[in-house]
């Protein structure tokens, strides 16, 4: 399990429930590494400001992480983390590697207007 204060997706069922029961979802799939930790930090910092978005993490090396790793939108990704944004269960944006607060909030604002 990742050491964050985010909601942890621990099974494929958790993943399906999360994207099906929340209109707007941001999932960061990674490890506790130098490119991932800053993204988790951004998510934790802004979670209270984006009440209309469900923020969650998913351990990249867990067997069920294929739900993110195998998405067509993540096909060419090489760097961790894989961060995927869902609206009504559908991918609206996917990024890889480190992301700044400005990059994350720009994506949230463009896709999940409050």
Query: Which residue positions in the chain have pLDDT lower than 50?
Result: none
Under CATH, what is the fold of the domain 7-111? Answer: Glutaredoxin (3.40.30)
Say what the pLDDT of residue 114 is. 62
- Closest C-alpha to 30, from 58, 70, 52, 5: 58
Q: Return the percentage of the chain with pLDDT > 90, whole number.
A: 97
Q: Torsions phi, psi of 59, nearest 5?
A: -70, 125
Q: 3-state DSSP helix/strand/coil percent for the chain, to nearest 5?
A: 35, 25, 40
Say what the pLDDT of residue 95 is. 98
CB atoms within 10 A of CB 5: 12
Say what the pLDDT of residue 1 is. 81
């Amino acid at each position: 399990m990742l050491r964050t204060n985010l909601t942890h997706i621990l099974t494929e069922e958790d993943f399906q429930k999360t994207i099906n029961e929340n209109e707007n979802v941001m999932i960061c799939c990674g490890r506790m590494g130098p490119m991932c930790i800053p993204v988790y930090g951004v998510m934790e910092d802004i979670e209270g400001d984006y009440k209309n978005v469900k923020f969650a993490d998913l351990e990249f090396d867990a067997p069920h992480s294929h739900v993110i790793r195998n998405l067509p939108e993540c096909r060419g990704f090489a760097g961790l983390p894989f961060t995927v944004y869902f609206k009504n269960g559908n991918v609206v944006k996917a990024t890889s590697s480190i992301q700044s607060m400005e990059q994350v909030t720009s994506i949230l604002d463009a896709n999940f207007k409050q």
